[in-house]
Structure 1
Amino acid sequence: MEMVKFEETCPADQWLSPDDECLTAVTFGGECSYDEECALTNPNFICPDDRCGERYCPATTAGNHEFRLAGGDAACRTGRVEVRPLGGDVWGQVCDDDWGNVDATVFCRSIGLTSGEAILGSRHWYVTGAVFRMDNVQCTGDENHLLECPYNGWNEHNCADSEVASVTCS
């Protein structure tokens, strides 16, 4: 008689591991073994260094600054806009005041992609204690990178944690 393996089904708040164990969702900062445990809490969370956290895309350099997407998808085409001086240790966010598709496209060009679409009000990219580097960015579309666009000035902002600029690039 042939044995048929019974495939266990997990409750909605759990994930079936490769070891056929139902594992509970792990929140941000919690200990984890698999990306899937973290993704149950937020689809963009992963398990780097055995702790649930955000995905950080590789940075690109332009105009003595580094640009990257954070907290987004595995393809590194969607996420929160971040910038820091070349060699700096703290990444900062761009405020979504006046943030639009032209600004998003210039940012996407900053990271080597072609065009972008602004995402406003997304809770996936909310940052507690956000460090804002740029506010009221107003690109014309001709700029090579975000820092060529007019804005209030480095670290000059009136932004709340929920006003983080995010994009989808293509």
Structure 2
Amino acid sequence: LRLAGGTCNRGRLEVLHASQWGTVCDKHFSNADAAVFCRSMGKPHANAEAIMQFGGGSGLIHLDEVNCDGVLEWKSCRHSGWGVHACDHSQDVGLNCH
């Protein structure tokens, strides 16, 4: 996991899968989901926010329809499948980990 286009605790969420970085696009990504991803990166997460202000990424979209309800680690979150998405980079998820 990494945050791109911002600071060390704020940026567009990107995930490494099959040796390639890709974004997460999801118009329903919640602050609770954000907390799971921030925690998984070892960043502050008590007041984590899902934000869309970092602009769209480019290249692959790895995840969509992410739901982390009831889990502590991002790899346990439900999603539509690797590379399966019904969105574009205009809906790429950003995080504010704090």
> Under a length normalisation based on structure 2, what TM-score does the superposition of the two structures give?
0.88
Match of residue 68 from structure 1? 2
Distance 1:159 1:130, change over 3 A: farther
Q: Give secondary structure in 2 for the equivalent of 1:113.
A: coil
The match for 2:66 among 132, 137, 142 is 137
Structure 1 residue ranges, 4+ long, deviating more than 2 angstroms after superposition: none
CA contact (8 A) 2:17 2:62 kept: no
Task: Output the aligned Cα RMSD.
Answer: 1.5
The match for 1:114 among 37, 40, 44 is 44
Q: Give secondary structure in 2 for the equivalent of 1:153.
A: coil
CA contact (8 A) 1:105 1:141 kept: no
> What is the correspondence of 1:11-90 to structure 2 with a 5 Å cutoff?
67-73=1-7, 76-85=8-17, 88=19, 90=20
1:141 CA drift (Å): 4.3
Aligned partner of 1:101: which letter?
N
Aligned partner of 2:35: which letter?
T
CA contact (8 A) 1:103 1:139 kept: yes
1:130 CA drift (Å): 3.8
CA contact (8 A) 1:106 1:141 kept: no
In the alignment, the residues of structure 1 paired with residue 26 and residue 81 of structure 2 have an alpha-carbon distance, to the nearest angstrom, of 15
In the alignment, the residues of structure 2 paired with residue 147 and residue 161 of structure 1 have an alpha-carbon distance, to the nearest angstrom, of 22
1:160 CA drift (Å): 1.3
CA contact (8 A) 2:62 2:83 kept: yes
In the alignment, the residues of structure 1 paired with residue 91 and residue 66 of structure 2 have an alpha-carbon distance, to the nearest angstrom, of 13
> Under a length normalisation based on structure 1, what TM-score does the superposition of the two structures give?
0.53
**Structure of larger gyration radius:** 1
CA contact (8 A) 1:117 1:168 kept: yes
In the alignment, the residues of structure 2 paired with residue 147 and residue 98 of structure 1 have an alpha-carbon distance, to the nearest angstrom, of 18
Distance 1:130 1:100, change over 3 A: farther
Identity %: 40
